[in-house]
Amino acid sequence: MKISKILAEKEITVSCELFPPKEGSALEQSREIAAATAKLRPDFISVTYGAAGSTAGYTAELAEESERHGVPALAHLTCVSSDEDSLNGYLSLLRKYGIENLLALRGDMPQGREPKRVFRYASDLIAAIKARGDFCVGGACYPECHPESASVAADIEALRIKAGSGCDFFTTQMFFDNEIMYSFLSKLRKAGINTPVIAGIMPITSVKQIERTVKLSGTVLPRRFLEMANRFCGDAAAMKQAGIAFATEQIIDLIANGVNNIHIYTMNRPDIAGEIMGNISEIRK
């Protein structure tokens, strides 16, 4: 089923995310994780695309695994690893697997590999996918502004172009301060961008994850979050519980304020996804 239809028909949606294993690794364990995640009945499962497209086949296969368990899949794809031929091949594979949804991203320049330069921005890739068939295509957005943008205004203008290229929905970069999200949404609406926005929530359940998260996303960590992390970082079980509670609270506040579409960056952890979904089961029903 198309995600645009799910977003239009359901008041509250919750989705999860998987990432494929490294190139050359077996897919079996990832299939089990996909099956366990699908058992939680999220509204859809997204599957990321390895940098430089090294695991494109795995992305498609894990997306198919999700569909096989009755959960619509969202397969990611990047510009830096795509040209006309690879795009046509990937779309054929997705069609064969019954996958109707793609998240089109620019990707980041792969280290030690030459990026492909056919599609410059995600909006170019979205337009190319839309021209090739009846896919539902989403794109990324950044409540704290994309780090390469010259200004917030320039970033919003780029999102206006992305929406105009046929983007059916946006998924946000992770954020830990909901006020930043509310301010971002207000800027989008003021700019006349009415595309649905799915809020990306990352449960931080270990100290290692905090360092990685900040390095990769450059996101602001609010005082509340830092105090939680400082207090519980010495105890793995307590840190996990506190991280799940923090993400749950963030989600409840978002839904209470009308941000009804939530994407949990579950990072191959169906146990964590399951606890969060259990915490909001009455809210979501």
123 scored as a contact of ligand FAD (CB under 6 A): yes
Stretch that binds ligand FAD, among 148-156, 230-238, 253-261, 273-281 (CB under 6 A): 148-156
Binder of ligand FAD out of 15, 30, 37, 48 (CB under 6 A): 48
116 scored as a contact of ligand FAD (CB under 6 A): no
182 scored as a contact of ligand FAD (CB under 6 A): no
106 scored as a contact of ligand FAD (CB under 6 A): yes
155 scored as a contact of ligand FAD (CB under 6 A): yes
Q: Taking a C-beta distance cutoff of 8 angstroms, is the pair 39, 16 a contact?
A: no
| Closest CB to ligand FAD among residues 69, 146 | 146
Residue 30: how many other CB atoms lie within 10 Å: 21
Tell me whether strands 45-47 and 197-201 are parallel, antiparallel or unpaired: unpaired
Number of H helices, E strands in the chain: 12, 8
| Closest CB to ligand FAD among residues 99, 103 | 103
284 scored as a contact of ligand FAD (CB under 6 A): no
CA pair distance 21, 31, nearest whole angstrom: 10
CA-based nearest residue to 168, from 203, 213, 136: 136
Q: To the nearest whole angstrom, how small is the minimum distance from the Cβ of residue 206 to ligand FAD?
A: 21
Catalytic option among 17, 61, 100, 275: 17
- Establish whether 17 is a catalytic residue: yes
Binder of ligand FAD out of 30, 55, 66, 78 (CB under 6 A): 78
Q: Taking a C-beta distance cutoff of 8 angstroms, is the pair 62, 30 a contact?
A: yes
Residue 165: how many other CB atoms lie within 10 Å: 20
Report the C-alpha dihedral over residues 168, 7, 243, 228, rounded to 10 degrees: 80
Distances from the Cα of 117 to the Cα of 94, 99, 225, angstroms? 23, 26, 39
Using CB under 6 A, list all residues that contact ligand FAD. 48-49, 51, 76, 78, 103, 105-108, 121-123, 139-140, 146, 148-149, 155, 158, 161-162, 171, 173, 200
Which residues are the active-site residues?
17
